[in-house]
């Protein structure tokens, strides 16, 4: 049976890889066309667009992995059915459940690859992609992995430790220089909130130190206004994207946001999506088996491919749409992330029971 597992696995992996290449080409091309709308903003040129799009490929691959697994496995099994190899396997005494088991073994390997993409590769490359884009568009603002956001506002340099989802700023440091580039004031604040009606920032827990040539003096106040040209909408792009975090980082960051009384639902949704995606990949592979066996009996394998593509696209769209449903209808994030996979799992069980 190891020979059977290896043979089926080789066929499935070959077709899944081909499907991945086609889907990646399509989605990357669409992403490139969409990104051209930002061309020539700041120093964001065509080379930066190419670099940004290429760095997003692992993220795109992670998102389309379950769909590629379904379409590729249908193609692979359809090839076996077309060449009557599935009939030979069944005539040799191999049950449908045994073929499903061979497919599941391939699914476990694919799930492991998906986990590596989601936990290691995609967070790193997506972070680099955003740094390339933002560094080119906002030349006066830089984001460093360990030192927060740095920006320049005339003779003032500002360091922001973190931008929370509601655009509250944490751990703010303001360095004010005179015309001779000598540091004259150093201000630190625990928190900053933007007052929309006054169009300025309210700094809380503020400590301000005046520095002259011979000495320095510090003052501490509970709160003070900070007038600056820094627009909160600019800072929105420096919020931590949940997809840039691994599972353990997401878990810690969700606790951190909760302690700061922030809405954590979007982060919890991504957390549970990362947990479920490897299982979704296995389920998609299993779903291909009843499709191919059912249609091979009627001699219409093309229809199985069509329905497989439709289910794959529906699954992809549902995963995206449930993010909005979680926010609009207060659906528990775990349920929102799991429901598309649960629906496909139920469909797989029903279809497999019909062909056994």
**114-155 confidence digits (pLDDT tens):** 899 888 898 889 888 888 887 777 665 666 555 578 887 778
Q: Lowest mean pLDDT: which of 28-42, 44-58, 278-292, 322-336?
A: 322-336
pLDDT digits (tens, 9 = 90+) for 62-102: 988 888 888 888 888 888 888 888 888 888 888 888 888 88
- Token pair for 228: 């600056």
Residues 125 and 272 in one domain: yes
pLDDT digits (tens, 9 = 90+) for 4-15: 888 999 999 999
Closest alpha carbon to 118 in 245, 16, 251, 27: 245
Mean pLDDT in the chain?
Answer: 82
Residue 165 to residue 167: CA distance in whole angstroms = 5
Residue 227 lies in a domain: yes
Give me the domain span that covers residue 212: 166-234
C-beta separation of 266 from 327 below 8 A: yes
Residues 52 and 119 in one domain: yes
Which pLDDT value is given to residue 40? 77
More confident call, 140 vs 259? 259
With both helix axes pointing from N to C terminus, report the angle between 333-355 and 265-298 in degrees, rounded to the nearest 10.
10
Residues 191 and 67 in one domain: no
Residues 255 and 348 in one domain: yes
Of 234, 259, 276, which one is at a domain's C-terminal end?
A: 234
Q: Lowest mean pLDDT: which of 37-46, 51-60, 317-326?
A: 317-326
Q: What is the pTM of this model?
A: 0.78
Closest alpha carbon to 41 in 229, 234, 241, 240: 234
Residue 159 lies in a domain: no
Residues 262 and 215 in one domain: no
pLDDT digits (tens, 9 = 90+) for 186-200: 888 888 888 877 778
**DSSP code at position 173:** E
pLDDT higher than 60, residue 264: yes
Residue 143 lies in a domain: no
């Amino acid at each position: 049976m190891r020979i059977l597992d290896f043979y089926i696995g080789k066929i499935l992996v070959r077709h899944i890889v081909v499907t991945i290449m086609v889907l990646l080409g399509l989605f990357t091309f669409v992403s490139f066309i969409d990104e051209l709308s930002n061309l020539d903003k700041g120093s964001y040129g065509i080379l930066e667009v190419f670099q940004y799009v290429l760095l997003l490929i692992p993220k795109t691959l992670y998102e389309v992995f379950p769909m590629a697994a379904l379409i590729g496995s249908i193609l692979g099994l359809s090839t076996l059915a077309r060449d009557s190899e599935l009939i030979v396997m069944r005539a040799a005494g191999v049950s449908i459940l045994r073929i499903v088991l061979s497919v599941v073994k391939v699914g476990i390997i694919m799930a492991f690859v998906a986990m590596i993409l989601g936990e290691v590769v995609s967070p790193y490359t997506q972070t680099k992609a955003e740094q390339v884009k933002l560094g080119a568009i906002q030349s006066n603002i830089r984001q460093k992995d360990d030192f927060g956001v740095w920006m320049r506002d005339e003779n003032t340099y500002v360091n922001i430790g973190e931008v929370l989802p509601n655009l509250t700023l944490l751990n703010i440091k303001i360095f004010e220089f005179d015309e001779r580039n000598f540091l004259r004031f150093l201000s630190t604040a625990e928190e900053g909130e933007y007052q929309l009606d006054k169009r300025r920032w309210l700094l809380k827990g503020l400590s301000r130190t005046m520095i002259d040539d011979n000495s320095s003096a510090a003052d501490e106040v509970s709160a003070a206004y900070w007038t600056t040209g820094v627009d909160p909408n600019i800072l929105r792009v420096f919020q931590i994207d949940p997809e840039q975090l691994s599972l353990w980082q997401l878990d810690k960051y969700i606790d951190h946001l909760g302690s700061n009384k922030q809405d954590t639902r979007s982060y919890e949704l991504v957390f549970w999506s990362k947990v479920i995606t490897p299982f979704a990949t296995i389920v998609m592979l299993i779903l291909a088996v009843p499709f191919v066996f059912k249609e091979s009996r009627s001699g219409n394998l093309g229809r199985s491919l069509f329905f497989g593509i439709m289910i794959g696209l529906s699954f992809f769209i549902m995963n995206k749409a449930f993010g909005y449903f979680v926010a609009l209808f207060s659906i528990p994030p775990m349920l929102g992330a799991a429901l598309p996979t649960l629906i496909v799992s139920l469909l797989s069980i029903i279809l497999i029971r019909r062909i056994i």
